[in-house]
Amino acid sequence: MGSRYGPEFADRASVWSKAPAKDRLGNSQGINMHAKSLFAVGLVALGVLQGCSSSEESSPGGRAGSVKLLNVSYDPTREFYVEFNETFAKHWEKETGQTVLIDQSHGGSGKQARAVNEGLDADVVSLALAGDIDLIAKSSKRLDPDWQTKLPHNSSPYTSTIVFLVRKGNPKNIRDWDDLVRDGVEVITPNPKTGGGARWNYLAAWGFALQKELGDLAVIKDPSKEAEVEAAKVKAKEFIGKLYKNVPVLDTAARAATNTFLQRKIGDVLLAWENEAFLALRESGQSEVEIVVPSLSILAEPPVAVVTQNANKHGTNQVAAAYLEYLYSDEGQRLAAKHFYRPRNSNALTEETKKNFVDLKLFALSDIVRDWEEAQEVHFKDRTGIFDQVFAP
């Protein structure tokens, strides 16, 4: 009996949200819900590759037996969803009497979106940026174009931003974005053509460069300042070129870049999701690295969505919707904060988690481009985008 996950799933992490449970071959086993190591490669269980589809094992109407979900996500959410999935599974069973088994797939957000577009059978996606989910909606039409209206905050249950991770003692004295373009500074950041976090990194740097030239990003939307804005964009392009000239390794995704910085000891500074930086600090210890918060960064809003065409086919639409709605619950928000994501509900912050999130000046994507479609066209389009113009491998 074939799996609905396809060959693309073979190199991605898988976790079960109930333990003990039966694997996809029916063998009784206990599941360790805690990551053995932040940077270990996720193992794919044999049962996932040979298991039955969710519609074969569940009765959505009567909610008998078990139901399966596949959440296709981006790299740095691994640890968060391990705990969230276990918590949601307990909640769902208590509410409905039904067991839910949740598989996870992780990788660069852009690659993940293309995999779903090409047939990876996700019930839900939790990706790094709205543009990647838009790709699925527009190209394969597996979900509605208005998917962002289905949940609060444009379907982004938590936020993050981009910070710097440097070697202990900050030997290169890296304090802000300008320091990244100095001679002799090696910057580690992933490829913005494949990773969602990498695009946030790039756009955070772009916004800083524009702010430096214009003094105020609001000038971008002033028609009378068009010449001034165009001149600032020329300077920003030069800044981006200098920054990526200092990148010795261009990994495909955020977690790979973190491994390059921490395990391979390459680079002086890592551009990272805020949550990834805290996880790295916790994993490697404060004796090796420290976090530097720049003067300005970008408000990153990772969105989620039900892949309605797939969920309808699997008979999982109801549980998939409940799964994403639970991200907005008090418990979902508390877990997001615990794993270093900024919750939408500030009441979910405890005294301990509140200390992790320093106040910093943030700008929104809409302050520098119209939307992700424009960002793709101007910055990341093959050959003609600014990134391809300035980056020479």
Going from N- to C-terminal start, the domains of the chain cover 7-159+302-354, 162-299+359-390
Amino acid (one-letter) located at 112: Q
The bridge status of strand 99-107 relative to strand 124-126 is unpaired
Same fold, 7-159+302-354 and 162-299+359-390: yes
pLDDT along the chain (393 residues), means of 10: 40 33 29 34 31 40 78 96 98 97 95 95 97 96 96 98 97 98 98 93 98 98 97 98 97 94 97 95 87 97 98 97 98 97 95 91 97 96 96 78
Q: What are phi and psi of 29, to 5 degrees?
A: -155, 155
pLDDT in the model for residue 74:
95
pTM score: 0.84
Whole-angstrom distance, CA of residue 319 vs CA of residue 333: 19
State the CATH architecture for 162-299+359-390.
Answer: 3-Layer(aba) Sandwich (3.40)
243, 274 Cβ separation under 8 angstroms = no
- Extract the tokens encoding 327: 């991200």
pLDDT for residue 303:
98
Nearest to 191 by CA among 183, 201, 181: 201
* 243, 187 Cβ separation under 8 angstroms: yes
Q: Are 251 and 190 within 8 A, CB to CB?
A: yes
What is the third-level CATH fold of 7-159+302-354?
Answer: D-Maltodextrin-Binding Protein; domain 2 (3.40.190)
What are the two backbone dihedrals, phi and then psi, of residue 73, each rounded to the nearest 5 degrees? -130, 175
Residue 263 near residue 188, CB atoms below 8 Å: no
